[in-house]
Amino acid sequence: MPRVGAIDCGTNSIRLLVADVSEREDGSRWLRDVHREMRIVRLGQGVDATGVLAPEALERTRIALADYTAILRRKGVERVRMVATSATRDAANREDFFGMVRETLGVDAEVITGDEEATLSFTGAVGDLEPEEGPFVVVDLGGGSTEVVLGDWDGVRATVTAARSVDIGCVRLTERCLPDDPPTPAQRAEAERVIAEGLAEAFAAVDVSKARTWIGLAGTMTTISGIAKGLPSYDSEAIHLSRLQMGELHETIELLLTLSRADRAALPVMHPGRVDVIGGGALVVAKIAEELRERAGITELVVSEHDILDGIALSTV
């Protein structure tokens, strides 16, 4: 099986995975990581307000992509797939982004739908869980959108039964509702109203009442886990498949919403590019936790480091 490269370009970050794909006798496939990294480029800077990708955001993304291209060549990657999500779906000047990617990477970026994004996220997320823990509800909380996906995993293949993507993410919500830092009570209330409205649409489309396990994906979730566990530095192995009970989850969320920017930046697991948007993401997590407790009786969050990036890699073969 080939060595593949997967690139996920979201609203806040751009991530790279180089992996070798192996196939078992039953036809299932698994990945062996060769190289994995993430950079904050904030491609979606201002898109919610202006409708266009900012020139400086495009340039930050180009620089990161050029570095990724060099890594792909050094690692001998045979197949590459790049997926672009929420920010580029919304931008009027998306062709500027496509042209930059084609010139830099040598392949076209694919702008996938929210439902496609959800399916790839689910496929990447469930592979390390036991099938008996399903049905699973996977929540991928990005910079510009959040995907809620319900499905099963039989140990060989993932099956998605329902999915919905809504335009609520940590960057979009922060820019729209949370101008002060920390946010005022009125700003927080407005953000919570926007979140509730968006998630109502998601949960109307995805009946989570039979779900048994909640899996949280992406930087807001992994950062919250690292803070809750008191890690001395960001440790993906310690965070992957970590479990948070609702009490420690809500304590960490409230901490993030009351700390100053400087104090958040000083947290040892905090990436500098997440400092100013983690509060907005935390509010989304809090509402999702409330909904899943009421709708499915779920009282635990499982945090996964494997997500849409792994799903993209598996989809290349």
CATH number at residue 152: 3.30.420.150
pLDDT of residue 317: 77
Co-location of 171 and 264 in the same domain? yes
DSSP annotation of 183 reads P
Quick one: tokens of 81? Answer: 């797939």
Q: How far apart are CA 140 and CA 217, in angstroms?
A: 5
Co-location of 66 and 190 in the same domain? no
Neighbour count for residue 289 (Cβ, 10 Å): 22
Residue 149 lies in a domain: yes
Angstrom CA distances, 166 to 69, 72, 163, 169, stand at 31, 32, 10, 9
Co-location of 134 and 80 in the same domain? no
Last residue of a domain, one of 114, 142, 160: 114
Co-location of 133 and 259 in the same domain? yes
Co-location of 148 and 288 in the same domain? yes
pLDDT of residue 34: 95
Residue 144 lies in a domain: yes
**Which residue is listed with tokens 């050094």?**
74
DSSP annotation of 108 reads P
Q: How far apart are CA 123 and CA 197, in angstroms?
A: 27
Co-location of 47 and 174 in the same domain? no
Q: What is the CATH number of the domain that holds 75?
A: 3.30.420.40
- Under a CB-based contact definition with an 8 Å cutoff, are residues 49 and 175 in contact? yes
Residue 122 lies in a domain: no
- Under a CB-based contact definition with an 8 Å cutoff, are residues 201 and 122 in contact? no
Residue 46 lies in a domain: yes
Residue 316 lies in a domain: no
Residue 308 lies in a domain: no
Q: Sign of the C-alpha dihedral, residues 264, 266, 268, 272?
A: positive
Residue 189 lies in a domain: yes
Domain that holds residue 30: 3-114
pLDDT of residue 30: 80
Residue 238 lies in a domain: yes
pLDDT of residue 27: 62
What are residue 93's phi and psi, to 5 degrees?
Answer: -100, 35
DSSP annotation of 143 reads S
- Under a CB-based contact definition with an 8 Å cutoff, are residues 252 and 227 in contact? yes
Report the run of H or E that residue 302 belongs to, with start and end: strand 300-303
Question: Furthest-apart CA pair in the chain: how many Å?
Answer: 57
Co-location of 102 and 154 in the same domain? no
Co-location of 216 and 297 in the same domain? yes
Last residue of a domain, one of 66, 88, 114: 114
- Under a CB-based contact definition with an 8 Å cutoff, are residues 22 and 54 in contact? no
Number of domains in the chain: 2
Co-location of 134 and 110 in the same domain? no
**Which residue is listed with tokens 């500027």?**
96
Co-location of 136 and 242 in the same domain? yes
Q: Which residues of the chain have pLDDT under 50?
A: none
- 14: Cβ contacts below 8 Å, ≥ 6 apart: 7, 8, 38, 39, 41, 43, 61, 64, 65, 68
Last residue of a domain, one of 81, 114, 147: 114
Q: How far apart are CA 43 and CA 159, in angstroms?
A: 31
> Which residue type occupies 37?
E
Co-location of 17 and 148 in the same domain? no
